[in-house]
Every structure is written in C-alpha cells, then in structure tokens.
Structure 1
C-alpha cells in the first residue's frame, strides 16, 4: 500500500490518541480541583526548591502568557508562591507552598498509578517499541522544523 495513502490515517490516530490521553489524564486531575496545566506546574515543581518562569515554561511547554495566568490561579489556591531570585533581581522563582508540597506528595503517586493503568496490557517490549517509535517521530519533526528554518533563512538571504 502507498504510504501517502496511509499517512493521514496514522496522523489522525496520533491526534485522537493524544486527545484521548489528555482527556483521561484530566479526568483524574479534575477530581483535585485542578486543570491539567495547573497539575503540570505542581508536578514539575515537586521535589525542587523552585524554578524560574523561563525554565518552568520550557519544562511544561506552557507559553509565557498562559503560564502567568496558571501561576496566578495556583497562587489564589495557596499552592504556589513567587519569590525574588537570589541571583537575578529581575527574575522570579515559582515555588510550591507547604499546601502545594502536601498536594504533590499525596497526589503524584496516585496520578502515576492512574496513568499506568493504560499500560496494563503492554509488555515491556511493547513499551520499548512504543517509546522508540515516538522518539523517532519526535526527532523527525525536529529535523523537519530545522530544515524549514534553514530554508527560510536561505530564501531571506537571496
């Protein structure tokens, strides 16, 4: 079969799987009265002394504008706090409060167990194959983005 004919089906399945996974994960997170981005911040900050906004955005893939709102809502819930950076006066560090640390310690293992249920019927070999396939796809996307950027530079230089 021509790969051009099967590609849209695979792409559609990838998108459906992504949406279904997020919906599944959100069903547990919503029981904590949090959104997925809020919980992402909580688990990213867990077991750290705090992280600055730039790195927090990179680790969570939440854009800067959205990140500010998510952090504000978590502050309103008493789960995070902003403190001035000791090394850069222009920068703020986001830290879990005691309530945030407690929430992380209570819920992160529970959330992992909830997510791991998806893989109950997967063998270790299945998981290794899935991971390798997803990594290969991500590298292909990164390479395509890099090639696209290089082409744009070449077109601008002409």
Structure 2
C-alpha cells in the first residue's frame, strides 16, 4: 500500500498544470518541427539560421545565449550548417579566440524564405487566441519561468 506522502504528492494541485504545460510544449514542438523540416533543417539548425538572420554574424557565445541550444550541441549544429554551405566560421585577426559565425549568401536566402514562412505558420495557431489571452499567457509563462530560476 502506498505511503501517505506518496498519495499526497500524487494529489499536488499543480500536477494538472504541469502535465498540460508538457503536453502543450510537445504539441508546439511537433507542429513547429514538421514545418521546419520542409526546409531540410532540424529545429536546432533553424534556430541558428533564424538567430543569425539580419546580423553581420555572431560569436559562438552569442549564438549560445540567443538560442535554445546547449554549448555542447552548438558546435555540431554549426558544423552541419557549414557542410550544407549555409554558414561560415571566421576568426578575426585581432582576436583569434573569438570565432564569428555568419550566414553565407545561400544561408541568407534560406533565412529570407524560411523565417517569414515559419512565423506565418505559427501565427495561424496563435491567432486562435485573443490578443489579451496571448498577453495573459505570456505573463504567466514569464512568472513560471522566474519561479524556477530562483
């Protein structure tokens, strides 16, 4: 027979919200990934292309800070984008320890095609909510994230 603490934990009031958050993330991720794959990109590769778009290039550290990609994974993602001729790495003469990653012309074209298309694709779903609902959702998600960062 389960212990009293196990039964109480299973009745925690936040569990339905936690489950819904996970289900929502999974549904969002699946919907987004299916669209991104049409451009022959993984979600991580798209994240880098989208982050580098409209820039003159960023350092690996800046890309890591602006994307959802861990440092350990980022190098491999960049390597694969180089193989696809979508980005290049440059080492500035004045700072040899700072590697800059830039979109190639082909990468810039892909950004200009894929980014607006993907935003429009996601917008279709967010438009199912009222603007005030999106604002409330955003505020609640910020509060939740901050609660986990304390």
**Partner of residue 81, structure 1:** 88
The 5-angstrom pairing of residues 112-127 of structure 1 reads 112-127=119-134
**Unaligned 5+ residue runs, structure 1?**
144-158
Q: TM-score, with normalisation over the residues of structure 1?
A: 0.85
Residue 30 of structure 1: how far off its partner (Å): 0.5
Q: Does residue 41 of structure 1 match 2:48?
A: yes
When the two chains are superposed, the root-mean-square deviation of aligned CA atoms in Å is: 1.4
Q: Does residue 60 of structure 1 match 2:67?
A: yes
More helix by share: 1
Correspondent of 1:13 among 6, 17, 20: 20
The 5-angstrom pairing of residues 13-32 of structure 1 reads 13-32=20-39
| Cα distance between partner residues in 1 of 2:80 and 2:62 | 19
Q: Write out per-residue CA displacement over residues 49-102 of structure 1, whole angstroms, 9 at most, x where no aligned residue.
A: 001111111111311221010001000001000001354211210000000000
**Unaligned 5+ residue runs, structure 2?**
1-7
Q: TM-score, with normalisation over the residues of structure 2?
A: 0.89
**Partner of residue 5, structure 2:** none
Structure 1 runs of 4+ aligned residues shifted over 4 Å read: none
